Amino acid sequence: MSVHEDNILILDFGSQVTQLIARRVRESSVYSEILPFNVPIGEIRAHNPKGLILSGGPASVYAPGAPHPDPRVFELGIPVLGICYGMQLITQHFGGKVEPASHREFGRAELRIDQPAGLFDGLGAETLVWMSHGDRIARQPEGFTTIAHTDNAPVAAFADLARRVYGLQFHPEVVHTAEGRAMLENFAYNVCGCKPTWTMAGFVETEIARIREQVGGGKVICALSGGVDSSVAAVLVHKAIGDQLTCVFVNNGLLRTGEAEKVVATFRDHMGMNLVFADEADRFLGKLKGVSDPERKRKIIGNTFIEVFDHHAERMTGVGFLVQGTLYPDVIESVSAKGPSATIKTHHNVGGLPEDLKFTLVEPFRELFKDEVRAIGRELGVPMEIIQRQPFPGPGLAIRILEEVTPERVALLQKADAIVLEEIKAAGLYERIWQSFAVLLPTKTVGVMGDERTYENVVVLRAVHSVDGMTADWVHLPYELLGTISNRIINEVRGVNRVCYDISSKPPATIEWE
């Protein structure tokens, strides 16, 4: 947990866009963190927040089993803003009435502001907002006044100015709410009295102090993958504690062509960090033999990683901490089905950890998004080549080889992947695309080559635009480029006679195929 002097806490009731609230608040240079709705009150107090936001969620407040926070969250003496479901919780708590709306309201609505002071300061009298709810406020609680309405929602926003409790029936955090960012900024500055002190330089400074305090004189190892997150995490921790940190780079046999060499050259030779190179390809590939289930692959790889770290940590004696570059999307997508949002995939650096982990985790980016980590990397002077690297998943090529992972399939995919990367870079698109890569479908299809029938594998090309990996859209790559990549893969990679392009967005698909 990191305590920032001016921070706003968000309690998550399961909305798909809760993380955007944190993002918008942080874009106003005020630190913001998300906690589960049922977090003990003591933990909330320990954060010493200047304000609390209750997120939206899929439930109805009056339904049995609906998520409720500890009622003492309303007695902390700090401002509270409820969004959608959060507003309905406020209504219920303070004695108002919530009931099902006669028709569910989705999409744009014109908000008419009745009381501009505070939350709506500096906004126009009418502004577009995004509604998404099935319940409505039938009766406002005592002491609350309506501060905005729409044609369909007579109470689209209310406030109890004395208690500093606010509710919005719409979602200020989504881009479709034209002035949503200003509303959240107003809440942070005007209502909560926060100062815009959260900057990347500030974050680095606070985290360095926090890491020093957490670790003391202890030894730390870092699971370095060479990707943006773990690289920036390693550089940050190295800056905090210097040689107390040893990075372990594991060749799991699932890396891209030339990757291992590059990582060793950058971190050991260029940055002067302690780096152990663990060449464990056989161990990983051995354990993956015969396994085709994606979640099992992830678990095996995650557990084998820990096994390897344990081994190296034991040899170093006295290692108590493990640094990981876990990001917020990794955390949210791995939250168990018990939480208010559904489990999509178990990301290995979160879900795959065994219960009896011998290390205390150091995860400085647990609350952040990729672009925020990139900004921190720039602040720390991490080489641009690393900062601009497209994300590469922890389980590596294993989740881009459907079905069983074999050394032959890895070698084949490495070749195809190298061609994709080369051509995307040559076209000047690498930094403008979130991820571009090849996937191997070990499904045979019929082809013809030099008058001979072939019966070989399919390679799928995937290229997506995304801001944070939570949603994504396929890239409209130029036809010529698609043609070049296809020709090169089919001609240069033995065992492939067909290349397809994946034109699915996330949702409903995901970025990786497994």
Q: Is residue 389 close enough to count as binding ligand XMP by CB under 6 A?
A: no
Do the Cβ atoms of 440 and 401 come closer than 8 Å?
yes
Task: Give 56-108 as a 3 state SS string.
Answer: CCCCCCCCCCCCCCCHHHHHCCCCEEEECHHHHHHHHHCCCEEEEEEEEEEEE
Of 186, 173, 169, whose CA–CA distance to 91 is shortest?
169
Task: Indicate which single residue of 28, 127, 177, 349 sits in contact with ligand XMP (rule: CB under 6 A).
Answer: 349
- Cα–Cα distance measured from residue 276 to residue 57, given in angstroms and rounded to the nearest whole number: 45
**Token pair in block for residue 508:** 């409903």
Task: Give the torsion through C-alpha atoms of 386, 392, 393, 398, to 10 deg.
Answer: -130
User: How far apart are the two ends of the chain, measured CA to CA in Å?
Assistant: 31
Q: Is residue 347 close enough to count as binding ligand XMP by CB under 6 A?
A: yes
Stretch that binds ligand XMP, among 79-87, 189-197, 252-260, 390-398 (CB under 6 A): 390-398
The catalytic residue among 33, 105, 173, 185 is 173
- Cα–Cα distance measured from residue 215 to residue 320, given in angstroms and rounded to the nearest whole number: 8
Q: Is 166 helix (H, G, I), strand (E, B) or coil?
A: strand
Q: Is residue 394 close enough to count as binding ligand XMP by CB under 6 A?
A: yes
Task: Indicate which single residue of 70, 379, 422, 512 sits in contact with ligand XMP (rule: CB under 6 A).
Answer: 512
- Minimum Å distance from CB 324 to ligand XMP? 9
Task: Indicate which single residue of 345, 374, 409, 488 sits in contact with ligand XMP (rule: CB under 6 A).
Answer: 345
* CA–CA distances in Å: residue 242 to residues 43, 139, 239, 377, 378: 31, 59, 6, 17, 19
Stretch that binds ligand XMP, among 9-17, 44-52, 108-116, 346-354 (CB under 6 A): 346-354
Burial letters for 77-89: b for 16+ Cβ neighbours within 10 Å, e otherwise? ebbbbbbbbbbbb
- Minimum Å distance from CB 237 to ligand XMP? 18
- Minimum Å distance from CB 136 to ligand XMP? 34
* Active-site residue, 105 included: no
The pattern of x and - marking residues 429 through 458 that bind ligand XMP according to CB under 6 A reads ------x-----------------------
* Active-site residue, 171 included: yes
Q: Is residue 462 close enough to count as binding ligand XMP by CB under 6 A?
A: no
Residue whose token pair is 């909305």: 15
Of 161, 165, 164, 184, whose CA–CA distance to 174 is shortest?
184
Do the Cβ atoms of 291 and 310 come closer than 8 Å?
no
**Is 186 or 436 the residue whose CB approaches ligand XMP more closely?**
436
The catalytic residue among 47, 93, 171, 238 is 171
Q: Is residue 393 close enough to count as binding ligand XMP by CB under 6 A?
A: yes
Task: Indicate which single residue of 232, 395, 401, 417 sits in contact with ligand XMP (rule: CB under 6 A).
Answer: 395
**Token pair in block for residue 498:** 């067909």
- Minimum Å distance from CB 393 to ligand XMP? 3
**Token pair in block for residue 470:** 């939570």
* Active-site residue, 176 included: no
Stretch that binds ligand XMP, among 44-52, 181-189, 371-379, 503-511 (CB under 6 A): 503-511
Q: Is residue 502 close enough to count as binding ligand XMP by CB under 6 A?
A: no
Q: Is residue 469 close enough to count as binding ligand XMP by CB under 6 A?
A: yes
Do the Cβ atoms of 238 and 207 come closer than 8 Å?
no
Cβ burial, residue 385 (10 Å; 0-12/13-18/19+): exposed
Q: Is residue 348 close enough to count as binding ligand XMP by CB under 6 A?
A: yes
The catalytic residue among 33, 47, 84, 133 is 84
Stretch that binds ligand XMP, among 114-122, 240-248, 344-352, 489-497 (CB under 6 A): 344-352
Stretch that binds ligand XMP, among 73-81, 372-380, 389-397, 412-420 (CB under 6 A): 389-397
- Cα–Cα distance measured from residue 189 to residue 196, given in angstroms and rounded to the nearest whole number: 8
* CA–CA distances in Å: residue 371 to residues 181, 314, 391: 18, 35, 11
- Minimum Å distance from CB 353 to ligand XMP? 12
Q: Is residue 391 close enough to count as binding ligand XMP by CB under 6 A?
A: yes
- Cα–Cα distance measured from residue 170 to residue 479, given in angstroms and rounded to the nearest whole number: 41
- Minimum Å distance from CB 439 to ligand XMP? 11
**Is 53 or 362 the residue whose CB approaches ligand XMP more closely?**
362
Task: Indicate which single residue of 24, 93, 298, 415 sits in contact with ligand XMP (rule: CB under 6 A).
Answer: 298
Q: Is residue 304 close enough to count as binding ligand XMP by CB under 6 A?
A: no
- Minimum Å distance from CB 150 to ligand XMP? 34
Of 397, 403, 392, 393, whose CA–CA distance to 296 is shortest?
403
- Minimum Å distance from CB 257 to ligand XMP? 18
**Is 50 or 347 the residue whose CB approaches ligand XMP more closely?**
347
Q: Nearest 5°: phi and psi at 158?
A: -135, 170
CA angle 476, 482, 485 (to 5 degrees): 140
Count, residues near ligand XMP per rule CB under 6 A: 15
Stretch that binds ligand XMP, among 80-88, 148-156, 238-246, 343-351 (CB under 6 A): 343-351
- Minimum Å distance from CB 175 to ligand XMP? 20
Q: Report the DSSP beta bridge partners of residue 277.
A: 249
Which amino acid, 382?
Answer: V
Q: Is residue 511 close enough to count as binding ligand XMP by CB under 6 A?
A: yes
- Minimum Å distance from CB 197 to ligand XMP? 30
**Residues classed as catalytic:** 84, 171, 173
Q: Give contact residues for ligand XMP (rule: CB under 6 A).
A: 298, 345, 347-349, 391, 393-395, 435, 469, 506, 510-512
